[in-house]
Amino acid sequence: MPPPSRTKTRPGSEPGSGTARFISGVVEGFYGRPWTMEQRTELFKREQKWGLNSYLYAPKDDYKHRMYWRDLYSAEEAEQLVALISAAKQHNVEFIYALSPGLDITFSSPKEVAALKRKLEQVREFGCRSFSLLFDDIKSEMCPADKQAFSSFAHAQVAVTNEVYQHLGEPDIFLFCPTDYCAKLCTPNVPQSSYLLTVGENLLPVIDILWTGPKVVSHKISVESIEEVSSVLRRAPVIWDNIHANDYDPQRLFLGPYKDRPTELIPKLRGVLTNPNCEFYPNFVAIHTLATWCKAATHGGARDVEMGEEEDDLCYSPQKALSLALSEWLQEFLSTDPPGDEEPMQTDIGESCYVPGPGEKPLFTAEPLTLDDLKLLSDLFYLPYEHGVTARTMLQELDWLKNNSCATTAETDKTAEWRSRAQQFDDMCESVTQMFDRLSNAPKRSVLYDLYNYICDIKSSVGMARAYVKTLGGRGQPSAHLMNDDPEPWRFRGGLSGEFQRMLPAHGNRDLFRYPPMTSVYSIRPYCPEDKIEVQRIFTEMQRAGEGQIPQVTQSPLMCDSLSAGDVSPSPDCALVLEDEIGVCGYALALIDAKPAAAKIQRATGDSVFEDFPSLITIQVLPRVSDPSPAKRMIGQLLSCIRSSGSRGAFCELRENDRRMIQFYTNLGSFKLAKVAGLPHEVLTMATSL
């Protein structure tokens, strides 16, 4: 059945005109620290300036909104809400008060329903005229009393909502948030959802329903999907849009434009409310671009187009909207906070009277923030399902530089390309550093404080990538800070949460940048005779790869070659293989006594070497193993077995052009170059004491 006809006007139409006003604005509905009263008042000013008209008060961490919904507000709390509702009216913003009783309400209890009415009556006395009941993020199991009174969970919610709506005198705006508030939560799907069908049939038609789209955080919202849910709900929904919400990930912030919602949606919706970042000030872009999206339909635009496509001034372009928002945001950055509002400790800073003398360091001068800095910031913190252009480029370049680092071992045509792209990557990294410096010195400290943790984190990560590329290009020592047994805490990310994620098989498979290999699950097991062929295959493959990087000359054999080739068997319990989802991808082998391997290649090595380092080890992994951790674990297990046998030390032989393995052993920290007489000039030894 199609939704009933509802006439509505575009944003800005006045109440009392005989038509329902299109709801547009902001919902404060995230989990975490609620915004302050001052920030909410600032929000109302922005909404009025940009043409938005509504604010839904639903902070999950206001205890009396959700957990203690029955409790009335105290006199002090009431005073704050009265002032807030008054401020919204002053700026022509509709204040919609939401209550979320679903955690523990007994729907069939008259006492509970009376408590619900009493709470909303109190807020009505504060001057509020619009309300909402939210039943999101709750368990759908009914208590025994409700099971006796209602045939389903949906019937229970609808009955109470209808009763409360009528008790409040049928307010012009009354919103209902269902438990199944997106297509992904519907069983088995939207058209066949018994829950939504019950809501659509029984909820009073003048009550509006909130909907987040295909998912909780919807990548795209299509006209077809809205038509489908509208048919089931028998009315056009109000979109609660989580595209800029970040309460589910403390390391992410979203500064990209409102996009992937065609403006053709507007005539098919009752309204749109954005539920943005937890941090107030960075929401400038999210709210500004939503306002531009709403205005596009006013002027007859009907698309959400990308730059580069055929477009005219009447169509909504996310990139044009973003540029407009960032230009205005820059002016806010360059202003100062009002006295007493987020000001630094020193408030009397003026021109320095100190003048450096000849040969002395010049005074530090903070460069002003630029529009390019904000565009870069937005690119680095774009949207949940995509990075900005610069961020994508940096990831692609780093991936290419890493996978083509062999070009730096000898001068070829590709070497010049590698070094050129490495310099371009370095320039992009430097831009991030400069952006951080200029943001850190911006006059508007309140905005900076909301951004600081994020920009500090990305600056550090980019710095590590920058150092890594320099190491690959031979412009720096192997970066011990990238792989080190005792790193500084700022060199690894995520704390305990990060450790858990790295141990789970799904970690990385939803990364926005899909070109690098997804994180694999590796297993280390003891070597068995059947593995000999696979070990020989890996040994031969890596030998050929190494020969391809240097002029074709006869190479001196290494002691470990006889181990890898299967000519000498590894010592018992001193052989491991590494497997991924494809198959065997690496190995680690050892001889407790290395003398048989030396004899095999007729190596005339002094006995003093075998006295200090009697054991021989070798390790090899295929290039598809991009994570160094499995190889490090194999070496650790191997050295532990060797130590248990009573050996004093272990060594490996490497060719001097094998930069990959030299860097690997160097990064372990325990292996050092050892001087060994009688070695061919292109062979070196690295050893560790046990």
Active site amino acids: 137
Listed in order, strand segments (DSSP E) in 63-127 are 94-99
615-621 and 584-591 as β-strands: parallel, antiparallel, unpaired? antiparallel
Per-residue HEC secondary structure of 75-111 comes to: HHHHHHHHHHHHHHHHCCCEEEEEECCCCCCCCCCHH
Enter the tokens of residue 622: 């295929």
DSSP for 451-497 reads: HHHHHHHHHHHHHHHHHHHHHHTTSSS--TTTS-SS--GGGS-SHHH
Q: Is 493 exposed, middle or buried (0-12, 13-18, 19+ CB in 10 A)?
A: middle
d(CA 370, CA 330): 7
- The pair phi, psi for residue 558, each rounded to 5°, is -105, 150
Q: Quick one: angle between helices 371-380 and 413-440, nearest 10?
A: 110
How many helices (H) and strands (E) the chain has is answered by 20, 17
d(CA 66, CA 31): 11
d(CA 622, CA 128): 66
Q: Which residue has the tokens 């109302």?
A: 44
Question: Which residues are 621's β-sheet partners?
Answer: 586
d(CA 129, CA 95): 8
d(CA 379, CA 373): 10
Q: Is the bond preceding 4 in cis, omega lying within 30 degrees of 0? A: no
d(CA 257, CA 287): 9
d(CA 292, CA 51): 9
Phi-psi region of 484 (alpha: psi -120 to 50; beta: other; left: phi over 0): beta
Report which DSSP code applies to 68: T
Residue closest to 407 by CA, chosen among 344, 332, 340, 473: 473
20-21 and 23-28 as β-strands: parallel, antiparallel, unpaired? unpaired
Neighbours of 419 (CB within 10 A): 16
Enter the tokens of residue 171: 């307010």
Burial 387-411 (b: 16+ CB within 10 A, else e): bbebbbebbebbebbeebbbbbbee
Neighbours of 208 (CB within 10 A): 23
Length of the chain counted residue by residue: 690
d(CA 198, CA 155): 7
Q: Are 205 and 4 in contact (CB under 8 A)?
A: yes
